[in-house]
Amino acid sequence: MFKKILYPTDLSDVSLKALDFLKQLRECGSEEVLVLHVIPEQTILTLRAYGEGTVNVDEFETGLMEKATKSVAEVEAELKKFGYKVKKMINTGFPLREILTTEQEEDISLIVIGSHGKSNLEEMFLGSVSEKVIRKCKSPVLVIKR
């Protein structure tokens, strides 16, 4: 039923909790996971505008990409252990836009997303990315609670 899953992850603890449920979905017949990590372009733009002279923005960006590449590879290895076919994407951009574009471009049957991410503010019912994804995407969404 949920053959091809889009799993957008910011690599936060809440988001990585999804792996347990992805394992169960595999046991229910899901076949493929598209792991999407978005490096927030806004962070880079803000640093370029305000941080120049205090941080080396290029080095910072390279560091983010290296760290993300390593962590996404770990997620991929885990999903492969469950028996999934895995496709990885690390994009620089605006998380919501990248998630929705990827949903449109791929033949997605389910989105698995964390209720919260790196900010994980106690008083928030949902994070801003998960809230907008749920509102704007076409596929059914499985929200993994913190």
Chain contacts with Mn ion (rule: CB under 5 A): 117-119
Q: How many CA atoms lie within 13 A of 110 on its CB side?
A: 19
Give the x-and-dash track for 20-59 against ligand ATP (CB under 6 A).
----------------xxx-x-------------------
Q: Which lies closer to ligand ATP via its Cβ, residue 8 or residue 75?
A: 8
Cβ 127 to Mn ion, closest distance in Å?
Answer: 5
CA 87 to centroid of chain Cα atoms: 12
113 binds ligand ATP (CB under 6 A): yes
114 binds ligand ATP (CB under 6 A): yes
DSSP letters along 75-128, please? Answer: HHHHHHHHT-EEEEEEEEE-HHHHHHHHHHHTT-SEEEEESS-SS--TT-SS-H
Q: Which two tokens stand for residue 97?
A: 């836009």
Number of residues that bind ligand ATP (CB under 6 A): 22
